[in-house]
Structure 1
């Protein structure tokens, strides 16, 4: 259970005498005489002593009963203004200690009040007179009634606590409670198993750093002892076992206590890794099939032409045609192999530098306007001349040029192509759109795969290289398209630092 905050402890230990002090304001003049003050003072001082010495707090209920009975018997017994303190004391006792203790207190209080009433009724008392009888019976019944009810309340509270503990113990999430000094106050079984708490020994009150003392435990320990508004993803390797993945959230509650809830995400991580490996294998299989297809077709042509030439039966003109086939298919094989090698290796031999993107767009537009199939096209551009990105100039030019050529080939001779360059927070966004034939959902899903093409000529690595270059530069690329509605490629790249923009603008061309 969580400890009470100090103000609550003060009220718990000295609350009843404070209430008694308040009731003194309604006492008739001259009642009780001088003993009333010392009793109140003693009750208050003993209550503060219990507050100062926690080990003595088990006597709190007995002290309150003695104090309330003393005041009641000194000021008239059943009819005393302090008599209402007795039900309050018994209710608190029942809520804390249960039905048996509260019933015992109710019986003791009833007997003491009965003796006091008897002494008063026979004339042997010295503090006044009371009718006894019905008021005493009513108060005794009330005391025993509230004792039973408060005891039942305690029982229900205990049942709720047990149910709460069962739920906490059954959770797969680890839950650990620590105090401001880093001592462990509570931990459910999942947390104890994960952190390696010793079995059969009392771990309560020990420092969390005793269980996470290695240098490699620093991140996990910090996540469990530092409040955070967001869950933290932590990778942690226990002393014996493989690396585990946790999602940790630590919240500060009253009195500086920290509640940490951490969820084991290791299984999810393994599933993601397995899916990534499977996807990689599928892509590798598709790449291998595409490469085999690109090599097999030229080889078939080469083999057929070579067989005809070796036979020596061809006329000179046909022999020359066979030689052209061999030369053409050999060049085709060379392009395929070189393209595959280019796709497979990293080309980042240069360091990224600030590049003025508008200049590259202008160069690409000038280039495609010279194409025979683009001379009648409408090419527009809306660019921000101040935008600079971090990258390698030649690579970025190839990206823009490749997408522009694809747009030209998709549009036909009288299409429209638009370049739009703008900034969005800390990145630049380039959109290249056309009004061509567009793509189906199936084609879009495979558009960036190596060797995939919808063209009649052999497939290439154009869009695959575009995607690889953009991602390796720290950017992203999106594709939007619908059949007969055109296509839009959107590329995001990190902006160059502002301090370098003006210094490098002139040298990026």
Structure 2
């Protein structure tokens, strides 16, 4: 009985090594053949040819799990060992039953045996074991009928041994199937663990890359996931409290900075089953939305955790305020544009009558009339600038070089600078591509920026106008060495009606920005107090434009 279970023990030892599982059929077939030989060698005769051995156990094990080649080899070996022992009618009958019933059933049923589940396999083995028992019992019964010399004790011993062998075969298959099932469960557990690990990694990577602060806790309040955004938000010293050091800690025991302490309360409340609305707060000039919710099991709907998401909507809030302000200014601008357009007509009439009165007045009053007309002209200029800024009109453009416009304006700029005692320097790049522009508006842009720079400098100041180009842009630099602009004023330079001049209108720079934007450009300012200011206008180059070499002189 011990020998008959050797293939089972060997199978269990061999099967526990994953790298050797592919060789299981060959290994089991060889061990079954060896065990079959040993069982035949140690068989025992009781009396008158009645014998006991367990050679059927390794044969059935090898035939079912040893593959087709193993089944054939075992059948040949089984027949070779049994043939010399055929001495009577009973042996011949047993051999016939074995050959006609058991071998075909094992040969043709092996594949179906492999395809069924564990329960069906065990039922099949129970049937095979019962057939083996019936085979031996029927042979003994026939022997006893024909040969009356058998003692009852010998017959009973043989029957009990046969029944024990059948039970032993069933137990052996049960052990093998248990080992296989254990390994299958281990494999499934490994796959599930790997899938779980992959999902955890995906979730953590998603949390890490999202621009939101995310904290996830389990049912007990233990932090399972947290990203760097949340660490920077809740910790007083984010550099010393890494994400890894916070995972596994209890949210109720953590030290939150004062502004973030409500997060603990939000998590604890939703863990108790409460439903909370998003919480909008302002902290350190930031607008934050904190949304907390519980996580429930899909089946039982029990709370298994909670999460809080912290979203910084400062930019969105500013953008919303800006849109509201722009809409309000747009409405006011449209109304003002209509009003100012109507004002120009009576102002023209007033100027005409003032001029007529000047001609008919005494010589000593001409200066007063001149002042009135200058102020009317200044008011009309303001109205024109305002209308240019308020009206988002379509302008006509033509392909032209920025250098051509600068060369046309240079005599006017030099004359203006000479009157102020200042110097203008032109530094033009060697290759300037053409660009689609409205010449009148670009001239106005350059004049406004240049005169702003002149007004920011005292006598003997130097204004530098430079150009440059890249593969994608054309750039215009207007640089002065005046007093510079304070940092708190830089952000408001392009606001309509905001000015730092005593007689300024606050429309010059907004008009410049409007012109640049209509030419697919932008303006940025670099300034340092006491050293000067540089206005940089950047235009996007049109696709396919080729550079125009700068002419000497």
Per the shorter chain, which TM-score range?
A: 0.3 to 0.5
Q: TM-score, normalised by structure 1?
A: 0.47
Q: TM-score, normalised by structure 2?
A: 0.44
Q: Which has the larger radius of gyration?
A: 2
